[in-house]
Amino acid sequence: MTQATDRLWGARFKSGPSEALAALSRCPERYFRLTPYDLAGSRAHAHELQRAGLLDESETQLMLDALDGIGNDFRNGHLHPTLADEDVHTFIERVLTERLGALGGKLRAGRSRNDQTANDLRLFLRDHARTLTTEVLALQSALVDQAEQHIESICPGFTHLQQAQPIVFAHHLLAHAQSFLRDVQRLVDWDVRCAFSPLGAAAMAGSAIARHPELSAKEMGYTAPCENSIDAVASRDHVAEFLFVASMLGVNISRLAEEFCLWSSRQFQWVVLDDAYATGSSIMPQKKNPDIAELARGKAGRLIGNLTGLLSTLKSLPLSYNRDLSEDKSSVLDTVDTLLLVLPAMAGMVATMKVNVEELRRQAPLGFTLATEVADWLAVRGVPFKEAHEITGALVQLCEKHGIELWEATPAMLAEVDTRLTPQVRDCLTLEAAIAARSGWGGTAPQQVRQQIERLQTALKGQLQWANTYNGFRI
C-alpha cells in the first residue's frame, strides 16, 4: 500500500526529511514571487496534456480555471504558501489538489521541477528585462531633457579628472545617455538568446508525454523550444548574461552618480540638487548630501557581486541538473530589486537638478583648456603638429609665468615664443570658437549636439516600443 506525500519527490522514501534537510531544502520566501510565472507554465502544460490525451476538454478547462483562481487569490493576498511547501511547484500542486482532488495531481505528468524552475526564471527575466528598460528610459528622458536645456551651456571637459577642453554641458550629459542606450541594447540582444522555452525537457532527457513543446513555447511567447533537453535544464548562461548586463548598467549608473557627487560639491558648484533628492547630516546642520548618488554608487558593487557569485556557482557543474542551480534565483531577484530601487531615484535626481550655467562658463577656460586651439591653428597653417605642440607648450609656460590666460598674451609675447604665432591666433581663443570648431559627427558643437539628441530620441522610442510590445507572459 502506497503512502501519500505532499512532497513532489518522496515516493521512494520510507520516512520524511530531517528538520535540517527540510530547512535547507525549502526555498526562501521571496522565491514564491515566481508563482505567477509557474502558473503560466502550468497553463501551457495543461494544453500539452490535452494534446497528449491525458486530459479531456472538460478536465483541461477545470484545470485552467483552477490555475486562474490560484493566480487571482495569490495576487490579491488571499493565498499563501505554508512552511510545508518546499517551493513554488509544491505550493501550486498542493492547492490545485485541494481544489480539484485527484484531477489536480494529473498536471505533474510529463514534466519535472527541473524544466519548471528553468522556465519560471526565464519568464521572470524576459518580463523584467522590459520593466528595467522602462525605468532606464525614464532616466534617459531626464538626461535628454536636461541636455536640451544646455546645448549652449559651455563647461570644461575633463581627462584624468583634469580640465582638458571646453565642451557644452549637454554633450557631457549625452555621453552618459549613450552608455545607457547600449545597456538597453544589450538587454534586447540578450532577449534574443533567452527566448527559448525549456518546457518539454522534463528532468533532462525530454518528455515521453509532452511531445509538442513548440506549441507550449509559442503560448508563452517564446521563439521556440530549447534545442537540447539537457542544455534546457542545465544551462544558466542566460542568467549570468542577464546579471552581466545588469552589472554593466549598475557600473554606468555608478559613473553618473560619481559625477553628481563631484558636481554638487562646493569645489565644483556645477549643480544644485533638489531638496527632495538630497539628505542632511545628523550633526552638521549646513550639510546637503548627494545620498542618492552615493547609494547608487554603492549598489554597483552589490550587482557585480551577484554576477560573480553565480559564475562561481556554475563553474565545474556537471551536466545535467544539479541543485546548486537553485542559487540562480537569489542573484536575479536581488539584482532586479536593487535596480528597481536605484533607477527611479536617479531619474528623479537628474530631472530636478538645477545647473549653475554661469559657474560652468567661468570654469570652462581655466587650466588653459584652449591650448589645443593654438596647436590646431598652427597645424592648419602648415606647421607640423609635433612643432605646434611644442610651441603651444612654450606659450602655456610663458602665460603661467606672467599669471595670464592665453588670449591675454601680447603680440610681443607671442613673437617671443615663435614668430609664426601672429596676433590672429587670438581669434580662435574664445570658448565659442573652440566649441564651434568641433563640428564633426559626434563633436561638441551645438548643431552636432542637437542632431545627436534627435538620433538618440529616435533610438529611445524604438526601445520603448520593444518594451511595450512583448507578447510573452507579464504580471
Please answer whether residues 83 and 26 qualify as being in contact, where contact means their C-beta atoms are separated by less than 8 angstroms: yes
- For residue 281, indicate whether it is catalytic: yes
Which one is catalytic: 281, 312, 402, 439? 281
- For residue 389, indicate whether it is catalytic: no
Buried b / exposed e over 63-83, threshold 16 CB at 10 Å, is bbebbeebbeebeeeebebee
- Give me the phi and psi of 281, to 5 degrees please: -110, 145
Which one is catalytic: 15, 58, 160, 316? 160
**H/E stretch holding 173:** helix 169-194
How far apart are alpha carbons 336 and 350 in whole angstroms?
21
Buried b / exposed e over 161-180, threshold 16 CB at 10 Å, is eebbbbbbbbbbbbbbbbbb
Q: Which three cell numbers stand for residue 65?
A: 480555471
Q: Which three cell numbers stand for residue 280?
A: 542632511
Q: How far is CA 86 from CA 21, 36, 328, 353, 366, in A?
A: 11, 17, 17, 48, 65
How far apart are alpha carbons 229 and 210 in whole angstroms?
12
- Give me the phi and psi of 282, to 5 degrees please: -75, -15
Q: Find cell 548630501 and name the residue.
A: 289
Write the single-letter amino acid at 226: C
> Strand pairing partners for 242?
none
How far apart are alpha carbons 182 and 140 in whole angstroms?
12
The sign one gets for the Cα dihedral 377, 378, 379, 385 is negative
How far apart are alpha carbons 195 and 182 in whole angstroms?
20
Q: Which three cell numbers stand for residue 32?
A: 514564491
Helix residue ranges per DSSP H, 101-168: 102-105, 113-149
Q: Beta strand 154-159 with 162-168: parallel, antiparallel or unpaired?
A: antiparallel
Write the single-letter amino acid at 341: L
Neighbours of 441 (CB within 10 A): 7
Catalytic positions, please?
160, 281
